[in-house]
Structure 1
Amino acid sequence: MNSITSLFGIKYPIIQAGMIWNSGYKLASAVSNAGGLGLIGAGSMYPDVLRTHIRKCKQATQKPFGVNVPMLYPNLEEIMTIIVEEDVKIVFTAAGNPKIWTSFLKEKDITVVHVVSSTAFALKAQEAGVDAIVAEGFEAGGHNGRDETTTFTLIPMVKEKIKIPLIAAGGIATGGGMLAAMALGADGVQVGSRFVASLESSAHADFKQLILNVNEGDTKLTLKELTPVRLIKNKFYQDVQDLYEKCPTKDDLTHLLGKARAKRGMFEGDLIEGELEIGQIAGLIHDIQPAAAIIEAMIAEFETAKTALQHIKF
């Protein structure tokens, strides 16, 4: 048992990222039942939908699970109220100021974790009183940091500055990656892209299949003027790049993005005009498996890699 497994009451220090349009109760409960920590992604849910997913997750697992709350979305107060009313014990916050909600949640005996992309934000989160930090490198899919700091650089720098448990995220989908992150100072890992390509993910089947064909260089961080996001290079992505050639204003980019573009791509399966968020590690994802099998494989790879390192001599 380490600081992360102890903090959450789980078997393995593997956290499933609360990704919009991918992380419903089916995925969260499957990950929790397999010994990790499953997270329901509140960012793509209306408040009443979130309440339903929390209740269904409680029926599907007796193990700890949590809710991921991106603080850039509306209805935040209602979402937090539902989390308290439904007695959720773990909340991951992201994309906002941790000072706003941490005290409120902690007063309700809720474990709070905040996702950051820099050492400066990690220190602010620690000061706000969070119980742990997720430090996410820019390899990650979805919304990301503007500074493009890689995971291997970010983790040791954050570890050097903070005193609370640290979870590494961004570019981790294998046991070897997990071991490397922990060697750099992480106490656990958060895994996103690999769980998108799981049977229990709520992503559209066509999006899952597309992930299996992603190769090195097929994703790119873009739309930094709005909220940075890593996308698969499809027609929509190219439309964004074409607009950049014209030196667009922020309003121009917002107009092109429109509404529900991520839902259209990842949830509804529009691989041409949709926003398709996935991490660079997708190039190592070659099959769609149950969440339990993904965790089992990661732990087996972790142990194999750890044993192999013991035989290295200089």
Structure 2
Amino acid sequence: MTNKITKLFNIQYPIVQGGMIWVSGWRLASAVSNAGGLGLIGAGSMYPDVLRKHIQKCKKATDKPFGVNVPMLYPDIEKIMDIIVEEGVKIVFTSAGNPKTWTAFFKEKGITVVHVVSSVKFALKAELAGVDAVVCEGFEAGGHNGREETTTLTLIPMVKEQLKIPVIAAGGIGTGRGMLAVMVLGADGVQIGSRFAATIESSAHENFKKTIVEVKDGDTHLTLKELAPVRLVKNKFYNDVQELYQHKPSIEQIKELLGRARAKRGMFEGDLEEGELEIGQVAGLIHEIKSAKEVLEEIVKEYNEVKSSMIDF
């Protein structure tokens, strides 16, 4: 399976594991890379020294390409970026910020840069900033960086129509059929988050992994748009948020309810009542916790089987 994305990252399959907060540590990233995809360490939930340790451990665990995902709103962003360069990371995915800010910095050092967007407008800005590819993330995703609520199946062809650089589809993809669908619409590869969150190597708490498996259609909802739009499992915390919205709260009141480390409390520490549980709509198709290698192999197998069957149409 060779195309623009496999060549860009020097990987076997055009499958990228999303760099999710509290989920994507070195174990998951290295497991995905060893299985032929591109593993990403999620820097968004790591202090600089913790990120350095994860990068070093990942380098020992795999000799295959891997990258780091960095939300650019990070308070210690300069330290994070310097560590990425110092540790010799060759691929960086940036999100939640202006791609112009750091793209040139990385490109000068020979680092491949990909930026996450949620609209045609921002995809064009990312291309103009000089990134090597974009991840176009639809409304279905768990961690969502846009407010347009454009679905993946409509976003991909609109972006593909405008851009010359490779396009990676994200949001609502967790199976081979889903991968084939977005590839038909013009995507050069896929980024998959939720399915890899429910794997053995994921650093998510077991309580959260079990919750992902139990999620059904309608059990998640995109909310907290005033801060950073995220798709949450409907639990007590989610209900508290909705109750607050009934009173037309200020941003300060929403921040007060959210508090600190709410996502860590839910996804990493396993508090299913008071924690923030971020997951995509595709969780309704996740029925079992498996190894990252098994997940990737199943996706590729289904992709090839369905693609072959389409010849008969």
Whether these two folds match at TM > 0.5 is yes
How far did 1:144 drift? 3.2
Aligned residue identity for 2:229: P
* Correspondence 1:244 to 2:259: no
Give 1:1-314 correspondences, 5 Å limit.
1-312=2-313
How far did 1:109 drift? 0.5
Q: What count of residue pairs does the alignment treat as equivalent?
A: 312
Q: Alpha-carbon deviations, 1:24-54, whole Å to 9, x = none? A: 0000000000000000000000000000000
Contact 2:137 2:144 in 1 (8 A): no
How far did 1:143 drift? 3.1
Aligned residue identity for 1:256: L
How far did 1:145 drift? 1.6
In structure 1, distance between residues paired with 2:308 and 2:105:
44
How far did 1:308 drift? 1.5
Q: Gaps (5+ residues) in structure 2?
A: none
Contact 1:27 1:202 in 2 (8 A): yes
In structure 1, distance between residues paired with 2:22 and 2:10:
26
Contact 1:141 1:229 in 2 (8 A): yes
In structure 1, distance between residues paired with 2:143 and 2:157:
23
Contact 1:138 1:144 in 2 (8 A): no
* Runs ≥4 residues deviating over 6 A: none
How far did 1:307 drift? 1.3
Q: Gaps (5+ residues) in structure 1?
A: none
Q: Alpha-carbon deviations, 1:83-126, whole Å to 9, x = none? A: 00001000000010000000000001000000000000000000
Q: Say which SS state the counterpart of residue 143 (structure 1) adopts.
A: coil
In structure 1, distance between residues paired with 2:142 and 2:238:
14
Aligned residue identity for 2:288: D
| Aligned sequence identity (%) | 71
Q: Alpha-carbon deviations, 1:167-200, whole Å to 9, x = none? A: 0000000000000010000000000000000000
Q: TM-score, normalised by structure 1?
A: 0.99
Root-mean-square deviation (CA, aligned residues, Å) is 0.5
Q: Say which SS state the counterpart of residue 142 (structure 1) adopts.
A: coil
142-151 or 286-295, which moves further after superposition?
A: 142-151
Q: Alpha-carbon deviations, 1:65-98, whole Å to 9, x = none? A: 0000001121000000000000100000001000
237-246 or 303-312, which moves further after superposition?
A: 303-312
